[in-house]
Each structure stands twice: as C-alpha cells, then as structure tokens.
Structure 1
C-alpha cells in the first residue's frame, strides 16, 4: 500500500519511463549475457578443435618414435616439437609444445620462455594427474593458454594454444557491446518518453478547455476526431459533460430570470396600487376594494413561495418515516369529484379505468402531484372531450444471478419491487410537439403565454417531476398526433 501511495505522486510520463527502463535494462542484460556466452563458446569450440587435432597428430608422431629402439632423449623430444610446430604453422596456428620424460623431467620446449624460466611449481606430471587427457586453461608467466597433456609409456607432452588474442578481443567486444546496448537503452527510453509525451499531449487541450470554463464559453467543445483512439472516450465524455453543464446553466439562468420576473410583477403591482391610493384621499369603499386586490396579489406571492419551498423540500428526498400506505382508488375518486365541477362548464368528462393499487409515499405530496396533472388536463383539454385516467400494475420481476463459490455455482434470485402506473390522457385544444412537451418540466416554462385565462406560474409540472423523483418514481410526457397529450407516472407499490 505504501508503494501504491508513492506511485500515485509520479506523473504518467515518469511512471511509463521508469517501467520501460526496467524492462529494457533487464532485456539488454539478458542479451548481453547471451551474446557473450555465444562468442565465448565459439572461441572455446574453435580452440578445442585445434588442440584436439594437434593432439591427434602428436600422438601419431609419438607412436612412430616408440617403435625406435633408442631411449627418449632431448633430440628426439625436440623432433616431436619441430614436427608439431611445422604442422601447426601449416595450419596457421601458433601451437606451443613442451616435452618431459615419464617422471616429469622437462626435456625441451618451444614456449617463449626457456625451461629454466618456468614457474617453480610447474609440474607436467601433476597436470597429467589432474586433467587426464582433458583440455584446461593455464596461465604461464602472464600468458594465457588452452592446453592438453598427452602421454605414452616414455614421455609426457603438453600442447598449449595461446589465447591472449582471444582475451583481448573479447574484452574489446564486451566493451563495444556494452556501449551499444547502453546507447540502445537510452534511445528506446527517449523514444518511449517522447511517445508518451506526444501521445498524451491532447490531454493538455482538455485541461486548457477545463481551465477556461466560464459562463460565456460553455459552448466550446473538444474535437473528438483530433484525439487518439484511446482518448476519444474521454473527449466524448468531456463534451457530454459540457452539454449537460450548458443545458443546466441555461436552465438555471432562465429560472433566475423567471423567478425575478414572477416576484417583480406582483411587488410592482402592490407598490403602484399603494402609491395611487396614497396620492389623494379616497372613500372608504375604495380602500376596501384596493385591500382586496392587494390581498389577492399577496396570495399569489404566497403560493409562489410555497411552491418554491415545496420544490426545495422534495429535492432532498423523503425519509422512511414519511412513507405510508396510500389508497390511490379513494384519492382519484375525490380528485375526480372535485375537478368534475370545474370541467362541467366546458363539457369535459373523466373516465377512470384499470386496477388502482396502494402505493408507498407521502399522501399530501402525492395528492398535490395528481392534482396538478388533473388541473392541467382540465385547463388545456379541448372542450367536449374526455380525460382518460388508466391504472395498471407492473408485476414483480425476478432477476437471476449466478455466483461461483469454489467449484459450485450458486444461483440467486433478486425480486424487483412492483410498480403502479397511472396514465392520464387528454385531447389538447392546440397542437404540441414532443420537443416542446419535454420542456414543460422546466421551472417557470409556459408554452402558451398568450392564454391569460389559465396562465399559471409554470411550476405545476416541475412540482410533479420533483415529487415523483422524491418517491423514486418516473414521469414522462408522450405526444401522439400533436393533439393527444399523455402523462405517465410510475410509483412503487405497497406490499
């Protein structure tokens, strides 16, 4: 956990460079070891073949001398050396040979040092006992040799191949290989750093856009086509966020303008009426009439403020103590009885069908919700028409889940609560499009402001939506053939 905490402090660029550097270094070390071993193995194999070939020829020469009756002398040993030297020179090899008798006494040598200059602890007999016809590495007077000891019943022979040149070459090769691998590592890390930097450079565009966000520039968007494929979902999400932000800001701006207008008009009316009444003395009946007008204006202000308080209240949601079992059958019966009296003048009737079930909610809020819907239906329905109220139930849905526990799959079922749906359908007296209908939920939005007879504050459907959301329900408006207005409200049924 401590590593993760520190790792979050690093930028994405440095984290990528760090991980790539570790990977490249490990890869280059593996390559270095593999190449070094391959080159060393090549030289060792080549030297081994030379020594083996020379040993084979020397053994043949020693067998030929064994057939002679004379004992082994220095001259005979020198002839072995000369023969081996002649053969190695013909093969372009710088082989060295050292001959001793069977007791290990040195007889002759073609090493660069004389026999007397060999180390005091040098013993051909000991080497024979240690290696037994096996090749080995030996250092004689600061020179490196690859050697092999062969013997017969009269003599011992040491065949040595100088490998100092190989050592020098390998040292130079390893030095150059290290420099090349280091250069490749730096190049790869630099390319990766630049790739990450250039690859995420478009993020700077989004950051710059976010820094420049202000109410006057909410319309600016990021061009998704200019982004890499990996960053396009981020750019699309940013554009979507800006669209929602612009829409909400415009809605808030309209709300502020509307509420200012709605409050200013009655207040201006009260101020004007008061100034007029105070300008000259009036009769008492005129003062009483004016007080009635001011009382009506104050009632409008009170209603507006109460509606705003209701919207603020429902936005916080409902607590469990506010949820009760509400009988929708009796609620709609009372509301229909009330609004039938208002609808009689225009010959509008109500038709209630379906199975009305009990729901969970706040009775006062739900009564306000359906009262707003029915009042809107009465005011904006064409004369001589029918307002249909249809109730239906959405049955309990079962969702199956499979959970794997060890080697056994356990199936579990989750029950989704049943819902109660009410659809209110009425025939409009004026055409309305779906786009215009979707705006009806905005606060203070009124589609037909010329109709002063039923002109309200524009908060009716906003309150409906707020109350529905507070009950975790759904509300929607559907327009069919421009005149058929249909509102659907879905609420949770009581068990």
Structure 2
C-alpha cells in the first residue's frame, strides 16, 4: 500500500516553518552563489588588469630592445641590458609578478625575480603553452602554486608573465566559509523569528480552543472578545460567537420543545389513566362504559394525531428524495381544498377568494396538500367573522431571485411560485409574536379560544416548505391582516 503524504496532518506552526525554511535556504543559496561569483570576479578582474599592464610595459621594453640590438642576450648580460631582470621587475615587485623571457629556440634569456627561472621544472616549455593559449590569459600551476599568466611573443622573444593567485584562493576559501556561517546564522534567525511570530500570532486561538473545550449546556452564553483578537482572527472570533449564539438559541428551543412534548404527551396519558382508574373503581352500567370508551377514543385520537405530526416533522426534516418529487398542479390542489373548507367557512360567514396564476410546481402532492390545508384551517379559525380569506398566486421575477445552495431539488436559475393566504384577524397580533408561531408547540393565546390545536401546524408548514427548498414567511399588514406566503419552485416541463 502506497503512503501518500498529507501536509494537513502537520501542525500549522511546522508547516509554516517548513515552507519558510525552504524559501530562506533557496534564497541564501542564490545569495551565496551571487556573492561568491562577485568577489571571485573582482579578483579575476584585478589580476587581469595587473597582468595586462605588465604585458604592456614588457612589450615596450621588447620594442626598445629590438631597435638597439640584433643579438640574443644571454642570462649573463650586463646590467645595462634593456631586459635586465632586476630592472624589469622593479616596478612590479609589489604584486610579486613572475616574468620569464626566452628566445625563439627556447633558451631562457632572463627572469624576474632572477631565481624564478631556476624554480621552474626542467620540462617547462613556453612554446607548448603558446600553442594552447597564445596571448590569452590562463590559469596554470607551477611547483604547486597557482598562477594567472599570459604569453607575449614578437619576432625574437617569447615572454611569460605570471601572477601568483594562491593568496586570493586562500582568501576566497576563508571568505566562503565565513559567508556560509553568516548565511546559516541568518537562516536560523529568520526561521526562529518566523516560528516565534507564528506561535505568538496564533496564540489567541488558544482562547477559542479553551472556550470550545469548556462548552456545556450551562455555559452557552460565553463569548470571545473580538476586540482582543488580531485583525486577521476577528472573523474567526465573530463566526465562533455567531455559532454559539445559534447553538444557545437552538438549545433553548430544544429545551422548550422537550418540555412541551412531555406536557403534550403527559396530558392525554394522564387523562386515560384517570378515566381507567375511575371506571375500575366500581361496577358501572353499560351506558357509562360506552360513554367512557368514547372519551378514551377521542383522547387516543388526539394522542395519535400528535404522534403523526411529530413523525411528519421528522420525515420532512430529512429532506425529499427524487422519487418523491413529481409535478403538482397547484390550481387543482387549491380548488380541491377550497371546496372542502368552504363548508367550514360558511359557519363563520367567511368567504374564500382565489386570484392569480397557479402554476405547476415540483414536489410531493400529499405534503403540499397538508401544507395548504394547515394554512387554510388556521386562516378560518383566526379570521374575523364576515371577512374574506384571499388565496393569491404570483410568479417571482427571475431577476430578483437570489442564488441559493439547493439541498435535494435543483433550484438554480428557476422561477418560483409564491402563494399567499391572507385573512383579517379577529384579534390583532404584532410581527414579533407572529414570527414565533413557527416554533413547535407555540400557541398564541386568544380570548376566544376557538381553535385549540397542538401548536404544530405552522411548524409542519415550515418543515414541508423547507423540504421542497422553499420558504414560508408571515407578514402583518395594517395591524390587522395576517398574510402567510409560501415560495415553491416551478417544475420544468
């Protein structure tokens, strides 16, 4: 099995140090090569200028010598000879130049210093060097010493000018060693400073880590101080505080839901238990048993309805599968529901009014029927008598659609149908209280108490709408009109 390296397993500190080290090392290598070549080139240029100047002077002496004599000077020439070694070397003694002059037959005529000719190996031949280098400067090794040299030739002589460069080599060796140590120290310093900076820079993260480790139901109200965080970490701190706020709100909602469902289940179960104990306390007539069984049947129906509603909520929260989706004609669906609820509405002298263009949407017909049935039932029970309940449909302008991330149904670049059910309320309600109606088991208290439901109607409506990637919202208009809008996406036929 091949092992694939994953840098995400490395801590952030080590990843930063690793990348910075690679960058610094590459940079230092480039700097080292550049400085080393720059210094070496400087010495080469300086040595080249010295040799070039010496060659120029030697040519002048050779020209003067050729004008005044035609004979080849032996090494025992008189000091007045133009190429006398001491005179030739006098002006270049500061540079430790080595000069050797031979005739065209290879006989050594002179040298500077005078002992330089005797230091040369017996097989040292200037003419063989001339065949290779001519008058180009070159580097050679004589008696284990390095020289930069050049050969000069005219009609009668061949001269070698050599400059020892061992001192330069030793200096460059020492310089390169010191430069390597300096660059290594700079690398270690930069990496250490970077590691310390990263450690200090992300130290505030430990505050968030401690907060997260200490999360428990009793401390959900604790927040991170955003102003104490570095600017780069403030979005993280704000996101953490937002997450904790949502967590606190959801946990509080869960507690209320748990309390409410316990109360909702306890009441019918306690009623059944009490009724059974009363009936078993003594013998009773058949009519009493029958009447009590009817009461218990009603209680069981209430309990069954509550459980079915809870199961429906759980089902819709998991989303819908593609197999559950099909084109649903909202025109036929709304008409069928209106026919059913018109009889109930007549008892309270209410009238339904349908307007707009009802299109085909994509969804589950049974769930959508439950959604609009809940809305119409609520509208009837909370509407003022002798009023009109309007059911309006409108296509949302595609240019106003905001891109959303779909969960099960692809809603990108699709038009939406908005169905709004509006009724005039018997008793006014403000927008803040209306927004709470989506909470499970939340009941808005009225003085009429005409509708005593379980408090799950609008929660089911919201869950079904979200399962269809739609939305549901409540608006209070003119302090007396209650409008519930459901947004569903059109089917692409």
Residue 73 (structure 1) aligns with: 74
Give the whole-Å Cα distance in 1 for the aligned partners of 2:169 and 2:393: 97
Cα separation, 1, equivalents of 2:350 and 2:161: 125
1:402 corresponding residue in structure 2: none
Pairing partner for 2:381 from 372, 379, 382? 379
CA contact (8 A) 2:381 2:450 kept: no
Confirm whether residue 85 of structure 1 aligns to residue 89 of structure 2.
yes
- My pick for the range that moved more, 192-201 or 22-31, is 192-201
Q: CA deviation at 1:357?
A: 4.1
1:27–1:76 Cα change, 3 Å: farther
Choose which of 458, 475, 479 in structure 1 pairs with 2:476: 479
User: How far is the alpha carbon of 1:178 from its aligned partner?
Assistant: 1.2
Deviations 1:106-127 (A, max 9, x none): 2443448564442122123333
Over 3 Å counting, the alpha-carbon distance change for 1:362 and 1:103 in structure 2 is closer
Contact 1:54 1:84 in 2 (8 A): no
| Secondary structure of 2:127's aligned partner | helix
Which residue of the partner structure matches residue 30 of structure 1? 30
Q: What is the SS of the residue equivalent to 2:442? A: coil
Q: Is residue 427–residue 483 contact of structure 1 (8 Å, CA) maintained in 2?
A: yes
CA RMSD of aligned residues (A): 3.1
Unaligned stretches of 5+ in structure 2? 402-410
TM-score (ref. length: structure 2): 0.85
Q: Secondary structure at the match of 2:190?
A: helix
Shift of 1:64: 2.8
Asked if structure 2 preserves the Cα contact closer than 8 Å seen for 1:449 and 1:455, the reply is: no
C-alpha spacing 1:420/1:127, structure 2 compared with 1 (3 Å): closer
Of the candidates 157, 161, 164, which is equivalent to residue 163 of structure 2?
161
Shift of 1:373: 1.0
- Describe the shift of the 1:43–1:454 C-alpha distance in structure 2 as closer, same or farther (beyond 3 A): same
Aligned partner of 1:273 in structure 2 is 275
2:135 maps to: 133
Is the CA contact 2:88–2:112 (under 8 Å) kept in the aligned structure 1? no
Please show how residues 45-124 of structure 1 align to structure 2 within 5 Å: 45-69=45-69, 71-76=72-77, 80-89=84-93, 92-111=94-113, 113=115, 115-124=117-126
1:43 partnered with 2:40: no
| 1:410 match | none
SS state at 1:444 partner = coil
Relative distance call for 1:46 and 1:384 in structure 2 (3 A) is same
CA–CA distance in structure 2, aligned partners of residues 337 and 420 of structure 1 = 22
C-alpha contact (below 8 Å) 1:396/1:415 kept by paired residues: no
Instruction: Check conservation: 2:73, 2:109, Cα contact below 8 A.
Output: no
Residues 348, 386 of structure 1: 8 Å contact kept? yes
Relative to structure 1, the CA distance from residue 326 to residue 38 in structure 2 (aligned partners, 3 Å threshold; closer, same or farther) is: closer
Q: Which residue of 2 is the match for residue 426 of structure 1?
A: 423
State the aligned residue count.
478
Q: Which runs of 5+ in 1 are unaligned?
A: 400-413
Contact map agreement 1:425 1:486 (CA 8 A) in 2: yes
In 1, the alpha carbon distance for the partners of 2:214 and 2:379 equals: 46
* Equivalence for 1:224: 226
1:327 CA drift (Å): 4.8
TM-score, structure 1 as length reference: 0.85
Within a 5 Å distance, the mapping from 1:223-242 to structure 2 comes to 223-242=225-244
Larger deviation: 298-307 or 341-350? 341-350
